[in-house]
Chains A and B, each alone.
Chain A
């Protein structure tokens, strides 16, 4: 290279600089100033519950993991209403959080979109309020706890106008290996965290892995929140996830829950290398018959039915003290909302209504989810010997106790990846204290919410 070349590249730089300022000047406005619709334009007022007589095609957007459930629901729905066809699109599950706002903001959005964060959908008036449909179809008869997660008012989720309706619910708790449970003398579910700890001590002494926690992708948050639900109480946990003003988890109860998880890990109740173990590895470990408890959720039930057929059970996490508050993370499999700019709102609402029908409830249960609906509806049937029976009865127990909570990882868009996962790894790695754990997560929470 020569001097000449560097002179030439200097000239090129100047040229690029000039071009830069030209383009910059021409695109001066604040980004995004032309995209958000006004709120008055999105509220459907004249709603119809009529089944369309002309052919209608609904478009639907969801995560790949729910394809089986959605496809079955769509098949049953379109068989019932032949004038409607549904055209689904599925994205990999881990990108649906990122793509949801983009799907909602599209010029021609799908008619039915998976709603992960109600508050972010409401923020830019991208979702239609469903109150008129709720009244027309009588969804207000559903148990309040089933829909409160999908309501929002003034940007805060939890109450107010309805924005989405679920296909079914998830459920979390403790899977257990029946043979090993018998071996350590567990005849009935532990009544308190203390009893659970005693049982795990016996498991450790018997050379078993007491609790299959996997924390490479943040599975360590599960035992923590299962404890937190009972110690802090479902209402406070929900308020935190829904970004209620002033909500905090920097509390003595949360520190106690974190301390318990750290203590269990310290005495070796979790697998060795817990921070390097992922969900697949945890599945394999539980299936190997060398473990007792596995804090995880309903989505794994079909798999566990295959790997440990008839040999596993499921119980809710025991309350902090005997007779105390039961709790479990349980949110929608998918909650579908109708984008503000959707074309076929009435037909989309008909699909939402179908989601709590007897047929849809059976489909939800067949696919391993808890059904949405009222208590007087027919109970869906489950094959005997499936661990799903235990999961459904645990769900009923927790629902009756008012213990359904949303997942703490869903409190803000980035809190799972940017706080819960790394901070739980630090906690289980012995690199931070329970106090620092809740402080750091709370700090991140406030920073992301701009508080």
Chain B
């Protein structure tokens, strides 16, 4: 080990060095070599996590990439397929449609919850009573602690021909709008989307509330004195102040929309027809029902690339200046 900057001598090995390094550190002086050794010690501490990451994240991802270039039933010997699996992702109409559906779901999983979250958070901010505020926050967050699969089943009942949604429509005299929501070619996808909205709104509200709490209350006071009304305050103070929180909300929910699985799988399985198929469900069915592991991996890789391609520019957009 030699120092590169030439100002410090190579550190002697052994316990003495450790003692010296500690004392030097305490003194607030760090030599390059010592610092480098600290860096290595840091890697050592990270090693267990790195191993877990390599075994349970990197290795599966790399295997999936490898599988995507083969035709494989998961058991027998695979045959190389070149880029055929990728070509099919973009030419099989059902696979293309599933990708389009996941983009439509962004409106329900992401845009609606963030908008609703902003409205609810700004209103909740005004609740003076601590008790009422707490109750409101808890109620809003409740959907977040229910597993997506369970809420999808509950919503399936509500959407059924005699379910809560249709009963409600009848109760307010809108009998003409009654339908079998999840069995309707036009309405199934929005109906599934609403489940996502319900799931994500609580999380967004809570994140945005936390963000609002960080905004200096005196700014609102000053604006009030200057005669700004609530709406003007919202656009001039709240919205710019929540830039990074909105970024987080959008990121999490867009990923949830593009990679959605549980809600769709439990409520419609992609039906009626192919009207609610999404890539997540297709990946599952290709791999585990059809035993087309290669095709499934190719779709999964495309899906991951797609998520990254959308999330990275969003990250840039919401970066705090």
**Contact present for B78 and A32 (CB under 8 Å):** yes
Closest to A117 in B: B291
Residue B82, interface by CB 8 Å = no
Q: Mark A422-445, 1 if CB is under 8 A from B, else 0.
A: 110110010100000000000000
Residue B40, interface by CB 8 Å = no
A51 and B47 CA atoms in complex are apart in Å by: 56
Minimum C-beta distance from A292 to chain B (A): 19
Closest to A428 in B: B272
Of the residues A16, A27, A31, A422, contact of B271 by C-beta under 8 Å: A422
Residue B319, interface by CB 8 Å = yes
Residue A277, interface by CB 8 Å = yes
Residue A44, interface by CB 8 Å = no
> Which residues of A lie under 8 Å from residue B67 when comparing CB positions?
31
> Which residues of B lie under 8 Å from residue A31 when comparing CB positions?
63, 66-67, 70, 72, 78, 293
A95 and B285 CA atoms in complex are apart in Å by: 11
Residue A161, interface by CB 8 Å = no
Minimum C-beta distance from B133 to chain A (A): 32
A177 and B148 CA atoms in complex are apart in Å by: 39
Q: Name the interface residues of A1-45: CB closer than 8 Å to any CB of B.
A: 1, 16, 19-20, 23-24, 27, 30-33, 35-36
Query: Given A20-B58, A217-B269, are A413 and B75 also a contact pair (CB < 8 Å)?
Result: no
**Contact present for A425 and B70 (CB under 8 Å):** no
Interface size class of A (residues with CB under 8 A): 35 or more
Residue A101, interface by CB 8 Å = yes
Q: Name the interface residues of A122-172: CB closer than 8 Å to any CB of B.
A: 123-124, 126
> Which residues of B lie under 8 Å from residue A1 when comparing CB positions?
319-320
Residue B137, interface by CB 8 Å = no
Q: Name the interface residues of A84-109: CB closer than 8 Å to any CB of B.
A: 95, 97-98, 101-102, 104-105
A418 and B271 CA atoms in complex are apart in Å by: 10
**Contact present for A123 and B62 (CB under 8 Å):** no
Q: Mark B292-303, 1 if CB is under 8 A from A, else 0.
A: 110000000000
A411 and B261 CA atoms in complex are apart in Å by: 26
Of the residues A20, A30, A431, contact of B77 by C-beta under 8 Å: A30
Minimum C-beta distance from A448 to chain B (A): 6
Q: Name the interface residues of B239-253: CB closer than 8 Å to any CB of A.
A: none
**Contact present for B320 and A273 (CB under 8 Å):** no
Query: Given A276-B184, A413-B289, are A425 and B271 also a contact pair (CB < 8 Å)?
Result: yes
A392 and B179 CA atoms in complex are apart in Å by: 39
**Contact present for A422 and B72 (CB under 8 Å):** no
Of the residues A36, A98, A277, A422, contact of B273 by C-beta under 8 Å: A422
**Contact present for A273 and B290 (CB under 8 Å):** no
Closest to A218 in B: B271
A27 and B269 CA atoms in complex are apart in Å by: 35
Please classify the interface of chain A as helix (H, G, I), strand (E, B), loop, or mixed, using the class held by over half of its residues: helix
**Contact present for A23 and B161 (CB under 8 Å):** no
**Contact present for B74 and A422 (CB under 8 Å):** no
> Which residues of A lie under 8 Å from residue B80 when comparing CB positions?
30
> Which residues of A lie under 8 Å from residue B288 when comparing CB positions?
95, 98
Residue A414, interface by CB 8 Å = yes
Q: Mark A222-249, 1 if CB is under 8 A from B, else 0.
A: 0000000000000000000000000000
Minimum C-beta distance from A215 to chain B (A): 8
Residue B160, interface by CB 8 Å = yes
**Contact present for B291 and A101 (CB under 8 Å):** yes
Q: Mark B47-65, 1 if CB is under 8 A from A, else 0.
A: 0000000100011001101
The interface centre, meaning the residue of A32, A36, A102 with most chain B CB atoms within 10 A of its CB, is: A32
**Contact present for B73 and A216 (CB under 8 Å):** no
**Contact present for B290 and A36 (CB under 8 Å):** no
Can you spell out 8 A-B residue pairs with CB atoms less than 8 angstroms apart?
Answer: A1-B320, A24-B65, A30-B72, A30-B78, A120-B73, A215-B272, A276-B180, A431-B185
Besides A276-B272, A414-B285, A418-B285, 15 more A-B contacts (Cβ < 8 Å) are: A16-B58, A23-B58, A24-B62, A30-B79, A31-B72, A32-B76, A98-B289, A105-B75, A124-B75, A272-B161, A276-B184, A277-B183, A421-B271, A429-B272, A431-B185
